[in-house]
Amino acid sequence: MDSGFRKKWGIMAKAFAIMLILLAVRTFIDIYGYDTIPINPVVGAFITGAIFTIAIIFTGTFTDFKESEKVGGEMAGALKALYNDSCVFPLADETPARVFRSHVRDLHRVITSCFKENNFNLPDINRAMNTVNLDIRTFAALNVAPPLIAKLRNELGTIDRMTNRIEVIIRTDFIPAAYALAEVATAAVILLMLFVKIDPLAEATVVFAVITCVLIGLLLLIRDMDNPFEMGEHTFADVDLETLAYLETYFDEQDAAMEALLAEKA
């Protein structure tokens, strides 16, 4: 299945499959006359309350998701700035700058590996950042201009803040008690809809299918959005990290250009 199509319709496909199973139960109940609950304002209010509860949770989760969308671009920009700034240092010996760039690339690989493996290992990232920080200390000892040193520290600080924020988003759920309430409310609405009397059968089928599919789809979407940094075939609502992944190609091109420049000077 095409990745774009899967991400767009995957959750609805899962919700539709669950709905079909429940619809079979609903049809059995309807045919044998067990649907004895009449339609009244209380039923409508109950369904509205469940949808309202889910909407509140969706709003909170969506806020974190929108914030997470910025991560790929901003982190890529900070890593790129660290790499490029080291190319303009007025050093007689290029070795420290070359080592620094290799360590920036190592930091980038650790971060992207954490995303690809769906295992955000903050200690590994911190160790890679400590190596870069030691390189900045070496630059300071080589009398690189203080403003350049400060800029490198600011970029590394940006990466540090963002990686810690990512770890917090992955580790924490949005109000677990609210999730439980939404799940109970959804289950209660579906259970109620199984026994609500709606005639004729075709109308009952359509109403049940629409309400059930929407409620289940929203719950699945919220669950998937709560960790927007997952990657793989079984995830649907995730932030775009392509900008961060592309840096590997960018660094390869810049390393090749730098080597060619040094070869010309030699």
Task: Dump pLDDT digits (tens) for 76-101.
Answer: 899 999 999 888 877 777 788 889 99
pLDDT at 231: 64
Domains in the chain, start-ordered, CATH in brackets? 3-63+195-225 (no CATH), 69-172+241-265 (1.20.1440)
Residue 1: what pLDDT? 47
Helix (H) or strand (E) holding 197: none
Per the CB < 8 A criterion, the answer to whether 238 and 230 are in contact is yes
- Summarised one tens digit per residue, pLDDT across range 195-224 is 888 878 788 888 888 888 888 888 888 877
What the block records as the tokens of 235 is: 């995830």
CA distances from 114 to 108, 117, 121, 249 (A): 10, 5, 6, 18
Contact by Cβ (8 Å): 50, 214: no
Give the residue with greater pLDDT, 46 vs 134: 134
At 266, is the pLDDT very low, low, confident or very high (cuts 50, 70, 90)?
A: low
- Decide: 108 and 126 in contact? Cβ < 8 Å: no
**DSSP for residue 232:** S
Instruction: Pick 236 or 218 by higher pLDDT.
Output: 218
